[in-house]
Amino acid sequence: MGFLREWRRKRALKNARLDADLWRRVYDGLSFLRGLSDDEAARLRDLVVLFLAEKEMHGAHGLELSPEIRLAIAIQACLPILNLGLSVYDGWVGIIVYPGQFRVVKEEVDADGVVHVYEDEQAGEAWPGGPVVLSWEDVGLSGAGYNVVIHEFAHKIHLDGPGDDDFPGPREGMDANKWRETLQAAYDRFCAEVDAGRPVLVDEYAAEHPSEFFAVMSEAFFTDSAVLARDYPALYDQLAAFYRQDPAERLPARPAGRRAKGRA
């Protein structure tokens, strides 16, 4: 880390005026944070302070970003990088927050090579090297296994780090083959379960593409940890090594949450 940046960060932490009541209120509203130790909560708070100082959050379509909104997004964005550091989010600054789902123009090429252009409603979007876009309404719908902020920031971690189109690369010290094979096997199994019409533990949207599977399973990893650890133990272990966290160990099992559509 550059000297200037380190100095700026130290100053940001020293001068931070994060309202203690506001922090407690927003933090307590995110039930999956229960179980973090005091040390982890303090480190999360420091990350959030730096995240808010270094990233630029803008409301779109007239949405005014209250301190609550900013903080809720920052906390959920920083949970996945608690043990990885803010440098994972280097190279971009923008977060755009819409009041609800937003329309995007999509292109799809069909089997005959014909390009179809259509509009779609989305709850979130992440651009490689660029901004994260979120629907505040969908952020508020988060429940066990569904979390649009973690979903989009998992995409950011994937898009801006090493890896290929399907999956991010492993962390240093991980067995690269095991990481890749475990993700692929879990994805294949999930798709087979969806195809067979069997109930699945997360949104069927995860079957759309391996990268979506990684993002959706990251949501489950942080917000429905015990269920993921039970149903996909090998995948859970790999994600624990990737994120350098073991949320199932700190969180009790909870009932499945709401599902929502329109992710990206």
Q: With contact defined as beta carbons under 8 Å apart, do 146 and 259 qualify?
A: yes
Residue 207 Cβ, how far from Zn ion at the closest point, in Å?
A: 12
Q: Which is nearer to Zn ion, 82 or 264 (CB)?
A: 264
Residue 128 Cβ, how far from Zn ion at the closest point, in Å?
A: 13
Contact range with Zn ion by CB under 5 A, out of 93-101, 134-142, 188-196, 213-221: 213-221
What H or E segment, with its residue span, contains residue 149?
A: helix 148-160
# chain residues binding Zn ion, by CB under 5 A: 4
Q: Which is nearer to Zn ion, 180 or 263 (CB)?
A: 263
Residue 87 Cβ, how far from Zn ion at the closest point, in Å?
A: 23
Helices (H) and strands (E) in the chain, counts: 11, 6
**107 secondary structure, DSSP code:** E
Residue 262 Cβ, how far from Zn ion at the closest point, in Å?
A: 10
Instruction: Tell me the residue nearest to Zn ion as measured from the CB.
Output: 215
Q: Which is nearer to Zn ion, 155 or 180 (CB)?
A: 155
Q: Which is nearer to Zn ion, 154 or 251 (CB)?
A: 154
Nearest alpha carbon to residue 225 among 193, 180, 256, 199: 256
Contact range with Zn ion by CB under 5 A, out of 54-62, 86-94, 109-117, 211-219: 211-219
Enumerate long-range contacts of 32-39, CB under 8 Å, 24 or more apart: 32/79, 32/144, 32/147, 32/222, 32/223, 32/225, 32/247, 32/251, 33/75, 33/79, 34/250, 34/251, 35/247, 35/250, 35/251, 35/252, 36/250, 37/250
Tell me which of 50, 149, 206, 215 binds Zn ion, using CB under 5 A: 215
Q: What is the chain's Cα-based Rg?
A: 18
Residue 50 Cβ, how far from Zn ion at the closest point, in Å?
A: 25
- Chain residues binding Zn ion by CB under 5 A are 212, 215, 263-264
